[in-house]
A and B are shown apart, each in its own frame.
Chain A
Amino acid sequence: MFDFSSLIDLPLIWGVLIATAIFLYVLLDGFDLGIGILFPFAPSDKCRDRMMNSIAPFWDGNETWLVLGGGGLFAAFPLAYAVLFPAFYIPLICMLLGLILRGVAFEFRFKSGEGMSRRLWDYSFHFGSLGAAFCQGLILGAFVQGVQVTGRNFSGGPFDWATGFSVMTGIAVVFGYALLGSTWLVMKTEDVTMEWARKVASYVLSFVGIFMALVSITMPFMNAQIKTFWFSTPNIYYLLPIPLITATLFAMVWRDLHRQKREYRPFLASIGIFLMGYLGLGLSLFPWIIPFKYTIWDAAASGPGLSLMLCGVAPLLPLILGYTGYCYYIFRGKSGHEHMY
């Protein structure tokens, strides 16, 4: 039995890996959930066909990152898995139901005829995506606030996650995903759909800005530790680039959307905005994995398991990223609206 525990800090490496997997999930499923959120507002059925086609080859792969996030948490930080999942029971189940509704809509929508049944899957795609996004935001907010733990088990009530803050982060995530979705559409579609996506993106952008500011202001007030982390010297100087870069990126997306020339940069800059937000959250909470109760070192799985998985991840993750990239490359360019089979 090999075990690298004495050589390297396995929980730290796995913490970074899981955080990366979750971030990739947020980005990748973010834009396709975002498209679901914007779906009924599209100007025509043809636009909706285009929107759907632009993500149809990718959504399976995108959702796999969620399985990796859940499965990875189970494998690397079983304590967090065992405490957090029961704590977020209701929003998690709702998220899963939402993901089912939207996932099947991809196949069913193409296979149903025109009219009522098409409408049914349009709306199941929309409400599924909206519900899943909102629940993910709820969970994020509740996670940041921390859960009640006794020993190795969650000991709070079934509705502990329902707070004003978590509802706010829920709405924030919905707008965030809508931004990713609309800038994705600017990149992947043309003509009417792209024009519409530009308008939507610039509208959504302001909401994303407001919510990011709100969350950033609220968090230090909720927890003294987070406050000292951000506002004590010399930390404040090291951390200052995060809000500055975020502001620059916002300005960049805004300009690109209004000058109507750039088609790729809004999406890439939106990713940058997400990255900054995620980095801010991650740094605030580090090293907690069950906030303010257990750190990544408390919750980590045993050394042999983490070592074995590290041996697997080292070659497999680059490979996965490689062929995922290949698939995006195959389906590069603007998407049409015709049936793709």
Chain B
Amino acid sequence: MEFDPVLLARIQFAFTVSFHIVFPALSIGLASFLAVVEWRWLATGNERYRDIYKFWVKIFAVAFGMGVVSGVVMSYEFGTNWSVFSDRIANVLGPLLGFEVLTAFFLEASFLGIMLFGWGRVSQRMHFVATCIVAVGTLISAFWILSANSWMQTPQGFTIGADGRLMPTNWLEIIFNPSFSYRLAHMVTAAYLSTAFVVGGVASFYLWNKRHIPEARIMLGMATIMAALVAPAQVLIGDMHGLNTLKYQPAKVAAMEGLWETEKGVPMLLFAVPDEKERKNNFEIGIPKAASLILTHDLNGEIKGLNEFEGKSPPVMPVFYAFRVMVGLGMLMVLIGWSSAVQYFRGKLFATRWLQGWWMLMMPSGFIALLAGWFVTEIGRQPYTAYGVIRTIESVSPAILGPQVAWSLMAFVVMYTFVFGAGSYYILKLIGKGIPAADEKEQFYRHGIEATVTEGATEKGDNHV
């Protein structure tokens, strides 16, 4: 059997990075959420906040751990599978990734220890500082990695040497490349929204089952604020990001819109089945002139079609559908956020069961939308790795043959299914187990209690932290 190493390497990268990104997204959101919750606890002295903190910090630990281990893979996969790409762009992107490790990873990893295990070893204030440092660390990390990713979408600030290797000419142009600010805002907001829907979903699950009602009300309230305000903001940011893409990567936008020929007054397709062979769409359902209006702010604005970018345009089908999944879920989030806000002001949010049902259903929606969005932007970058500069086909490691990549891909699929399946299972189990209340502290420190029962006071040095 013949293996195409380029295709396999792409699938492997897509698979590992898709699995990876879900966890950092949850970590970014949860870290900031935890910082806010701990701040409320310190400010109000309300123990409910402490219980909420102690509950979510366990889920955060699982998410963070899985983010770390799946992230190490990414930093090595560049070299193993994409050695030519690495060699050619290292002078430009190397420092960005280096700074990510130096300014973010160490910060997060070190203070995570205090955040998880530091109770009783550091003051409450210091513990709060540790939480904030971790939260800031996740954001710094997002800053650098999205800068590097955006540079691959909209590269600038370099020259190409005789040997094909890129040389940096202006760091500010490289770091603050044209699509960076949009992508950073879009991704961080997406992480916050995804987390809000997880928190809101869990809260609704408890309200639905009449468990932990005081905590669940706080959690659903916070989630509602996020969803009602941030979801519409995300739609706006996404729109601005789209305009930026139209300017720098028009082929990607053409694929997103399913537009083959350059046209004026382009309709916004709600549904269609793009046919790449015939280069046309079947079963189109669309709103006339809407795409032109959104993208050019003119009902008869012209948008370039895919046929203008022969050999330089991405595969249409995945980009087209992923885009619709993302936008559809985004709209649903806005709807749920606003409905919840309305119900809140009517004083009925915590008693509206149909809405709680929706919140529960929407728990994974943020991650699905986030992955769909990444599919749009990354598949939309094809056939390049660095847009317009290096093609994907010339990026791959020449010495790595198909069978090797096939073998390792299989190993990753098996391992990730096992490990991340278990991770999801434990997270769900934690949610099912519920929030340990202050007076249930005994149960909370189960292992500690066991020790005192079996050994009495003879054990010294048991730091009951």
Residues of A within 8 A of B (CB): 1, 49, 56-58, 60-61, 63-64, 66-68, 70-76, 78-79, 81-90, 92-93, 96-97, 99-101, 103-104, 106-108, 111-112, 152-156, 158, 190, 301-302, 304-305, 308-309, 312-313, 316-317, 320, 323-324, 326-327, 330-331, 333-341
The answer to whether B87 has its CB under 8 Å from any CB of chain A is yes
Say how far A240's CB is from chain B's closest CB, in angstroms: 37
CA distance A334 to B462 in the complex (A): 8
CA distance A338 to B429 in the complex (A): 21
Q: A338: nearest residue on chain B (CB-CB)?
A: B448
CA distance A82 to B169 in the complex (A): 23
What are 29 inter-chain pairs, A to B, with CB distance below 8 A? A57-B114, A60-B65, A60-B113, A61-B106, A61-B109, A61-B112, A63-B69, A67-B71, A71-B101, A74-B75, A74-B86, A81-B83, A81-B86, A85-B83, A111-B58, A111-B62, A153-B397, A304-B167, A305-B92, A305-B94, A312-B95, A316-B103, A323-B110, A324-B106, A327-B111, A334-B461, A336-B459, A336-B461, A336-B463
CA distance A301 to B459 in the complex (A): 56
Contact with A along B28-66 (1 / 0, CB 8 A): 000000000000000000000000001001100110111
CB neighbours of A92 from chain B (8 A): 76, 80
Residue total for B at the interface (Cβ-Cβ under 8 A): 87
CA distance A106 to B423 in the complex (A): 11
Q: A317: nearest residue on chain B (CB-CB)?
A: B102
Say how far B106's CB is from chain A's closest CB, in angstroms: 5
Question: A78, B91: Cβ atoms under 8 Å?
Answer: yes
Q: Please pick, from B72, B95, B110, B419, the residue contacting A75 in the complex, using a CB distance under 8 A.
A: B95
Question: A154, B94: Cβ atoms under 8 Å?
Answer: no
Query: Considering the complex of A and B, which 10 residue pairs feature the smallest CB-CB distances, nearest first?
Result: A85-B79, A75-B94, A78-B90, A57-B113, A60-B109, A338-B448, A339-B447, A82-B87, A103-B69, A82-B83
CB neighbours of B79 from chain A (8 A): 70, 73-74, 81-82, 84-86
CB neighbours of B65 from chain A (8 A): 60, 103-104, 106-107
Q: B448: nearest residue on chain A (CB-CB)?
A: A338
CB neighbours of A335 from chain B (8 A): 463
Q: Tell which of B206-214, B287-295, B315-323, B399-407 binds the partner.
A: B399-407
Q: Is the interface of A mostly helix, strand, loop or mixed?
A: helix
The answer to whether B464 has its CB under 8 Å from any CB of chain A is yes
CA distance A178 to B114 in the complex (A): 26
CB neighbours of B83 from chain A (8 A): 81-83, 85-86, 153-154
Say how far A304's CB is from chain B's closest CB, in angstroms: 5
Question: B169, A1: Cβ atoms under 8 Å?
Answer: yes
Question: B445, A339: Cβ atoms under 8 Å?
Answer: yes
Say how far A168's CB is from chain B's closest CB, in angstroms: 24
Q: Please pick, from B68, B121, B167, B419, the residue contacting A330 in the complex, using a CB distance under 8 A.
A: B121
Question: A100, B117: Cβ atoms under 8 Å?
Answer: no
Q: Please pick, from B57, B91, B426, B444, the residue contacting A302 in the complex, using a CB distance under 8 A.
A: B91
Question: B114, A330: Cβ atoms under 8 Å?
Answer: yes
Question: A58, B101: Cβ atoms under 8 Å?
Answer: no
Question: B75, A70: Cβ atoms under 8 Å?
Answer: yes
Question: A341, B54: Cβ atoms under 8 Å?
Answer: yes
Question: B80, A1: Cβ atoms under 8 Å?
Answer: no
Say how far B13's CB is from chain A's closest CB, in angstroms: 13
CA distance A206 to B295 in the complex (A): 72
CA distance A61 to B412 in the complex (A): 24
Given contacts A60-B68, A330-B121, 18 further A-B contacts (CB under 8 A): A63-B72, A64-B106, A72-B101, A74-B79, A78-B91, A86-B80, A89-B80, A96-B76, A100-B69, A153-B398, A155-B398, A305-B94, A320-B110, A324-B106, A330-B113, A337-B447, A338-B448, A339-B448
Say how far B113's CB is from chain A's closest CB, in angstroms: 3
The answer to whether B233 has its CB under 8 Å from any CB of chain A is no
CA distance A64 to B108 in the complex (A): 10
Question: A341, B117: Cβ atoms under 8 Å?
Answer: yes
Q: A158: nearest residue on chain B (CB-CB)?
A: B404
Question: B399, A67: Cβ atoms under 8 Å?
Answer: no
Q: Please pick, from B97, B103, B116, the residue contacting A57 in the complex, using a CB distance under 8 A.
A: B116
Question: B451, A338: Cβ atoms under 8 Å?
Answer: yes
Q: Assuming the A-B contacts A82-B79, A158-B401, are A312 and B423 also in contact, with contact meaning beta carbons closer than 8 angstroms in the complex?
A: no
CB neighbours of B229 from chain A (8 A): none
Question: A99, B69: Cβ atoms under 8 Å?
Answer: yes
The answer to whether B331 has its CB under 8 Å from any CB of chain A is no
Question: A74, B90: Cβ atoms under 8 Å?
Answer: yes
Question: A309, B404: Cβ atoms under 8 Å?
Answer: no
CA distance A108 to B66 in the complex (A): 10
The answer to whether B248 has its CB under 8 Å from any CB of chain A is no
Contact with A along B402-428 (1 / 0, CB 8 A): 001000100110010001001100100
CB neighbours of A75 from chain B (8 A): 90, 94-95, 97-98
Question: B109, A64: Cβ atoms under 8 Å?
Answer: yes
Question: A100, B73: Cβ atoms under 8 Å?
Answer: yes
Q: Assuming the A-B contacts A111-B426, A154-B399, A330-B122, are A72 and B98 also in contact, with contact meaning beta carbons closer than 8 angstroms in the complex?
A: yes
CA distance A107 to B422 in the complex (A): 11
CB neighbours of A104 from chain B (8 A): 65-66, 69, 419, 422-423
CA distance A74 to B90 in the complex (A): 6
Question: A99, B72: Cβ atoms under 8 Å?
Answer: yes
CA distance A111 to B118 in the complex (A): 18
CA distance A158 to B404 in the complex (A): 8
CA distance A49 to B117 in the complex (A): 14
CA distance A160 to B430 in the complex (A): 46
The answer to whether B84 has its CB under 8 Å from any CB of chain A is yes
The answer to whether B70 has its CB under 8 Å from any CB of chain A is yes
CB neighbours of B66 from chain A (8 A): 104, 107
Q: Assuming the A-B contacts A103-B68, A154-B399, A304-B168, are A333 and B118 also in contact, with contact meaning beta carbons closer than 8 angstroms in the complex?
A: no
CA distance A89 to B408 in the complex (A): 9
The answer to whether B446 has its CB under 8 Å from any CB of chain A is yes
CB neighbours of B162 from chain A (8 A): none
CB neighbours of A82 from chain B (8 A): 79, 83-84, 86-87, 90, 397
Q: Please pick, from B71, B108, B404, the residue contacting A89 in the complex, using a CB distance under 8 A.
A: B404
The answer to whether B170 has its CB under 8 Å from any CB of chain A is yes
CA distance A268 to B58 in the complex (A): 33
Q: Assuming the A-B contacts A75-B97, A338-B445, are A86 and B109 also in contact, with contact meaning beta carbons closer than 8 angstroms in the complex?
A: no
Q: Assuming the A-B contacts A61-B106, A100-B69, are A156 and B98 also in contact, with contact meaning beta carbons closer than 8 angstroms in the complex?
A: no
CB neighbours of B84 from chain A (8 A): 82, 153
The answer to whether B176 has its CB under 8 Å from any CB of chain A is no
Q: A111: nearest residue on chain B (CB-CB)?
A: B426
CB neighbours of B119 from chain A (8 A): 341
Say how far B318's CB is from chain A's closest CB, in angstroms: 26
CB neighbours of B64 from chain A (8 A): 60
Say how far B60's CB is from chain A's closest CB, in angstroms: 10
The answer to whether B465 has its CB under 8 Å from any CB of chain A is yes
Question: B404, A90: Cβ atoms under 8 Å?
Answer: yes
Q: Assuming the A-B contacts A57-B117, A86-B80, A89-B400, are A308 and B91 also in contact, with contact meaning beta carbons closer than 8 angstroms in the complex?
A: no
CB neighbours of B105 from chain A (8 A): 64, 67-68
CA distance A340 to B459 in the complex (A): 16
CB neighbours of B459 from chain A (8 A): 336
Question: B168, A71: Cβ atoms under 8 Å?
Answer: no
Q: Assuming the A-B contacts A99-B72, A153-B399, are A340 and B116 also in contact, with contact meaning beta carbons closer than 8 angstroms in the complex?
A: yes
Question: B465, A301: Cβ atoms under 8 Å?
Answer: no
The answer to whether B15 has its CB under 8 Å from any CB of chain A is no
